[in-house]
Structure 1
Amino acid sequence: MIERADQLVLNYVSQAADAAHGVLRADQRLDFARRLRARIEVERGGSQNARQVAKVLARFGDPAALVEREARRLAEAGVATARDPAGVGAGAVARPVSGPASGPAGGPSGGGATRPLPAVTDEEAPPGVRAYRRIAQDNLGRRQGMGLPFAGLRRAAMSSANPMATGGRDARTIVKEHPRDTAALAILVVAALLVPFDLPAVAIFQVPLVVWAVGAAMVLFSDAWSVRDRFVGAGAPLLGYAVGGVLIGGLRVGIEAGMAAFVTQFFDVSGTMFMIGTGAGVLWLAYRLLDVS
């Protein structure tokens, strides 16, 4: 997870550096990339969550637009660039740009050094950057009042999608990052699928119950979900078995049918309710694992 978040930042800075070829001089490109990386780290706030990092990068917008803004800033200051080696304006005095961009506190480190890359806000960004941000935010499904319900699940299914468009999350990434957690969900699904088969009991326990216990233990000892989510996901099959069996069985036999008829109906429907509860629990855990709420 940490490696993927850092890779998103490196890819973004590399795109900006590539876009700066032919626009900024070599020393200016290095200075710009260094300040851009520092600004991203400030906005990132130490987060190692790939989705949050992708959201931060989306706010910065198109790397090429940032390069153009830097070139305009240097041109307005009369600094020669690769695009305009002679500088802008007659008698313009070029200021050095290869020095450190900022001191430890983020302010200018000394005379002649370029100022730190400013924070990117919607008010100050060029129109092209603002448009790119809106597109990126739409793709991330983060705009208020927009996007389909559970759009994150749809994005996660795009296993070959660009992580910048999927918030750094996709189905393949989830499996790689949480192999034991996805294995636990698979075991719970297997437990539900074994219910219709009349398998011999293990000691006094039915096979689906044994398989469910293994999957439930893996879920309860996982740190990928909150405590509440773990108990909800692991307990949903038992809740469906017990409560669902009692309710549906009672409705099918009525009040005056007798205990024997009720027990018969309970065991007739409890297996189906166990499968339904398992499906609901697995879907909830998968949704929470994707962290798209």
Structure 2
Amino acid sequence: MIERADQLILNYVSKAADAAHGVLRPEQRLDFTRRLRTRIEAERRGSQSAKDVTRLLARFGDPVLLVEREARRLAETAPLEAAAVAPVGEEATAAFPKIRDDVPPGVARSRREAERRLAREARGLPFAGFRRAAMSVANPMVTEGRDARTVVKEHPREVAALLVLVVAALLVPFDLAPVAIFQVPVIAWAAGSAMVMFSDTWALRDRLIGIGSPLLGYTAGGLIVGGLRVGGEPGLEAFVVEFFNASGVMFMVGTGVSVVWLAYRLVDQE
């Protein structure tokens, strides 16, 4: 699995390569992306911090502007070769990809800086990780690479575990025949819990909360709610009936809490 810092660099270089398509010749494009990656790695100095890499890439600026600068350099140093890419003169920029919103470069840089400042301020607010994840179409440079798409790409096993837990909760209302002596929702919960426990992405505390919340909801929730429903009605049989009536719903509630917590911790990693 590619680490977050490496993924940010890969995304940045890929954007530069896409912007260079049709602007630079294939060999020029390959040389440009190779030199760009080498320069980034040199400036990175082996850091594995996604925040450090984000700040580094922000200093490099918009990949589209880097491609335009490279095309101008090639046009100045090798006019004959540049003629095969775009017409020389004022019309040369027409072949370049358009900058976001067609705004002047200075305005675009100011806007990006403002977006980064707002992102930094938002990180101090409660559940900032969820807000960043909700920006599924946002620029990873603004959200530090933590949007819904990158989370799914970087943590497919963890996302699959959450989906299995959701399925376990959704199966509770259905009166499915048990497998051996085990109810189907319990089997699904056990499979999801195993996937959670074998993950090295979540901290141990988060994993225990994730697998324990459904159990706590089933047992403690069933006992409390079942006991309240029985009220003054005597007899163990009445309590057992109410316990099983309530425990399934409380298991779903506990599983919901588990999924929400694990998803939050998955998104809000530093």
Correspondence for 2:54? 54
1:191-244 deviation digits (Å, cap 9, x = unpaired): 100000111111111110011101100110111101111111111111100111
Q: Say how many residue pairs are matched.
A: 220
Q: 2:54 is aligned with what amino acid?
A: A
Correspondence for 2:153? 176
* RMSD of aligned alpha carbons: 3.9
User: Which gives a bigger RCO, structure 1 or 2 (Cα 8 Å, sep 6+)?
Assistant: 2
Distance of aligned partners of 1:217 and 1:249 in 2 relative to their CA distance in 1, 3 Å threshold: same
Using the TM superposition, give the Cα deviation of residue 131 of structure 1 relative to its aligned residue in structure 2, in angstroms.
7.8
Equivalent-residue separation in structure 2 for 1:146 and 1:37 (angstroms):
29
Q: Give the 3-state SS of the residue equivalent to 2:238 in structure 1.
A: helix
Using the TM superposition, give the Cα deviation of residue 252 of structure 1 relative to its aligned residue in structure 2, in angstroms.
1.9
How high is the sequence identity, in percent, across the aligned residues? Answer: 51
TM-score, length of structure 1 as denominator length: 0.61
Q: Which moved more, 1:167-176 or 1:236-245?
A: 167-176
Q: Give the 3-state SS of the residue equivalent to 1:242 in structure 2.
A: helix
TM-score, length of structure 2 as denominator length: 0.66
Using the TM superposition, give the Cα deviation of residue 265 of structure 1 relative to its aligned residue in structure 2, in angstroms.
1.0
Equivalent-residue separation in structure 1 for 2:37 and 2:135 (angstroms):
33
1:33-74 deviation digits (Å, cap 9, x = unpaired): 7997478415xx61153x55225544x48569xx9xxxxxxx
Q: Does structure 2 conserve the Cα–Cα contact (< 8 Å) formed by 1:61 and 1:129?
A: no
1:273 aligns with 2:253: no
Equivalent-residue separation in structure 2 for 1:145 and 1:226 (angstroms):
20
Please list every run of 5 or more consecutive structure 2 residues that lacks an aligned counterpart in the other structure: 18-35, 67-72, 74-107
**What aligned pairs does 1:73-92 form with structure 2 within 5 A after superposition?**
none
Equivalent-residue separation in structure 2 for 1:259 and 1:219 (angstroms):
36
Equivalent-residue separation in structure 1 for 2:39 and 2:210 (angstroms):
42
Equivalent-residue separation in structure 1 for 2:117 and 2:43 (angstroms):
17
1:251 aligns with 2:266: no
Using the TM superposition, give the Cα deviation of residue 5 of structure 1 relative to its aligned residue in structure 2, in angstroms.
2.6
1:282 aligns with 2:259: yes
Larger radius of gyration: 1
Distance of aligned partners of 1:34 and 1:289 in 2 relative to their CA distance in 1, 3 Å threshold: closer
Runs of 4+ in structure 1 over 6 Å off: 11-14, 33-36, 128-131
Correspondence for 1:112? none
Equivalent-residue separation in structure 2 for 1:286 and 1:145 (angstroms):
17
Equivalent-residue separation in structure 2 for 1:144 and 1:169 (angstroms):
13
Distance of aligned partners of 1:52 and 1:213 in 2 relative to their CA distance in 1, 3 Å threshold: farther
1:237-261 deviation digits (Å, cap 9, x = unpaired): 1110011111111122236633222
Equivalent-residue separation in structure 2 for 1:133 and 1:39 (angstroms):
24
Please list every run of 5 or more consecutive structure 1 residues that lacks an aligned counterpart in the other structure: 15-32, 68-81, 83-127
Equivalent-residue separation in structure 1 for 2:60 and 2:121 (angstroms):
15
1:5 aligns with 2:18: no
Equivalent-residue separation in structure 2 for 1:131 and 1:6 (angstroms):
21
